[in-house]
Amino acid sequence: IAADAPTFTFERNASPIEANERARLLENPGFGRVFTDHMAMIRYSEEKGWHDAKIVPRAPFQMDGASSVLHYAQEIFEGMKAYRLADGSTALFRPEANARRFRDSAIRMAMEPLPEDLFLASVRELVKIEQDWIPEAEGGSLYLRPFMIASEVFLGVKPSSEYLYAVIASSVGAYFKAGAGAVSLWVSQDYTRAAPGGTGAAKCGGNYASSLVAQAEATRKGCDQVLFLDAVERRWIEELGGMNIFFVFDDGTLATPPLTGTILPGITRDSIITMARDMGLTVREEPYAIDQCRADAESGRLREAFACGTAAVVAPIGMMKMADGDFTIGSGGPGQTTMRIRDALTSVQRGKLPDPRGWVEQI
């Protein structure tokens, strides 16, 4: 496939989910359980390069038991959303940023980087075909999950010579259960997510596999999400299992942990830093220790905290629990600055506010 002219063959699903059934599914889709009729696929081999780009009916993959992804976890993914705009058209938000991060993740995992224009074309083509799957309800969107797996049939430990790239799409509502004014975090002091030199900045499945025991612990403690600390000193706040984190202080400034290679460089994180600065707010990217966070929450210096990511959007954080005791942040509910930022972000994403940076791409 010429990198500058990707063409996808299209095989329409002959037995798509009926419109009535689709409408029923879209009423309350939750997150990650409702899937559309088609998927995009592209294959890579050393002999052919990237080839066989197609949109096909969504169906199970056939895989050999020796496919290297099943043994050594050479796998990466992305998460992005297609939105219905106020004028009825469909749009993506900063898809080039996902394409670039997918490439960076591939390089870290010694995988063949997918050309960014192929990534973008695959997502655009799939969204064009699946627009009817965007829920109409407030907060609904089509969550896109591009991913790539090592498909060489070989048990030696080395980078695969073959890859399968695919995009599936899922109609989604809110990631957290409605009614939760603010979420609670379990501060993991036993488990860490990523060490310096590791894969923390890559969006690879292994990072999530290793986070699950800590997430399960958080759930057992009655919390919505796990908060990870750094792996060296077990002191510096890093990020959640699937979201970045921000803090809002009594002087109106914001802070978020810096990108030092152990956290995912979130596109929502970057967008919020930019938009908050445009709003005249001061945002610092600086390390923040959990003991300081607790002291600041107790003294009132720390007023608000929120989690952010594509799936979660902006979620207020009301309290943190840890082995040494629990503490509330601000009122324990959604903070004003948090809601102002959430509003600004979602309004741009949904075409309700001007988009001076050209982040919204209509398709």
Shortest Å distance, C-beta 4 to ligand PLP:
27
Q: Is residue 310 close enough to count as binding ligand PLP by CB under 6 A? A: yes
Taking the C-alpha atoms of residue 271 and residue 359, their distance in angstroms, rounded to an integer, is 9
Taking the C-alpha atoms of residue 117 and residue 202, their distance in angstroms, rounded to an integer, is 20
Q: Is residue 74 close enough to count as binding ligand PLP by CB under 6 A? A: no
**264, interface contact from ligand COI, ligand PLP, none, CB < 5-8 Å by kind:** ligand PLP
In the numeric block, the tokens 């509003």 are attached to: 343
Q: Is residue 170 close enough to count as binding ligand PLP by CB under 6 A? A: no
Helix (H) or strand (E) holding 27: helix 19-27
Shortest Å distance, C-beta 311 to ligand COI:
3
Question: What residues contact 84, with CB distance under 8 A and at least 6 apart?
Answer: 90, 134, 136, 140, 141, 350
Q: Is residue 266 close enough to count as binding ligand PLP by CB under 6 A? A: yes
**266, interface contact from ligand COI, ligand PLP, none, CB < 5-8 Å by kind:** ligand PLP
Helix (H) or strand (E) holding 19: helix 19-27
Contacts with ligand PLP by CB under 6 A: the residue count is: 12
Quick one: 156 or 358, whose CB is closer to ligand PLP?
A: 358
Asked if 212 and 206 count as a contact pair (C-beta separation under 8 A), the reply is no
Q: Is residue 141 close enough to count as binding ligand PLP by CB under 6 A? A: no
Q: Which parts of the chain are beta strand (E)?
A: 9-10, 34-35, 38-45, 49-57, 75-77, 80-84, 90-93, 141-150, 162-172, 183-188, 225-229, 237-240, 244-249, 254-256, 283-285, 302-309, 313-322, 325-328, 360-362
Shortest Å distance, C-beta 244 to ligand PLP:
5
Quick one: 182 or 201, whose CB is closer to ligand PLP?
A: 201
Q: Is residue 79 close enough to count as binding ligand PLP by CB under 6 A? A: yes
Tell me which stretch binds ligand PLP (CB under 6 A): 124-132, 159-167, 267-275, 282-290: 267-275
In the numeric block, the tokens 């939105």 are attached to: 83
In the numeric block, the tokens 């791409």 are attached to: 361
Determine how many CB atoms are found less than 10 A away from the CB of residue 204. Answer: 21
Tell me which stretch binds ligand PLP (CB under 6 A): 131-139, 172-180, 259-267, 320-328: 259-267
Taking the C-alpha atoms of residue 245 and residue 217, their distance in angstroms, rounded to an integer, is 19
Shortest Å distance, C-beta 309 to ligand COI:
4
Q: Is residue 309 close enough to count as binding ligand PLP by CB under 6 A? A: yes
Asked if 118 and 3 count as a contact pair (C-beta separation under 8 A), the reply is yes
Q: Is residue 264 close enough to count as binding ligand PLP by CB under 6 A? A: yes
Q: Is residue 268 close enough to count as binding ligand PLP by CB under 6 A? A: yes
Shortest Å distance, C-beta 79 to ligand COI:
2
List the one residue from 38, 124, 269, 294 that touches ligand PLP (CB under 6 A).
Answer: 269
Taking the C-alpha atoms of residue 138 and residue 359, their distance in angstroms, rounded to an integer, is 21
Quick one: 259 or 363, whose CB is closer to ligand PLP?
A: 259
**269, interface contact from ligand PLP, ligand COI, none, CB < 5-8 Å by kind:** ligand PLP
Return residues touching ligand COI (CB under 6 A): 79, 242, 309-311
Taking the C-alpha atoms of residue 216 and residue 226, their distance in angstroms, rounded to an integer, is 9
Residue 4 burial (C-beta neighbours within 10 Å; 0-12, 13-18, 19+): exposed
Closest CA to 267 of 99, 98, 114: 98
203 is catalytic: yes
**30, interface contact from ligand COI, ligand PLP, none, CB < 5-8 Å by kind:** none
Shortest Å distance, C-beta 120 to ligand PLP:
16
List the one residue from 67, 244, 256, 262 that touches ligand PLP (CB under 6 A).
Answer: 244
Taking the C-alpha atoms of residue 249 and residue 296, their distance in angstroms, rounded to an integer, is 9
Quick one: 218 or 267, whose CB is closer to ligand PLP?
A: 267
- At residue 245, φ and ψ (nearest 5 deg) are -135, 145
Q: Which of 203, 221, 321, 352 is catalytic?
A: 203
The residues that are catalytic are 203
Site residues for ligand PLP per CB under 6 A: 79, 239, 242-244, 264, 266-269, 309-310
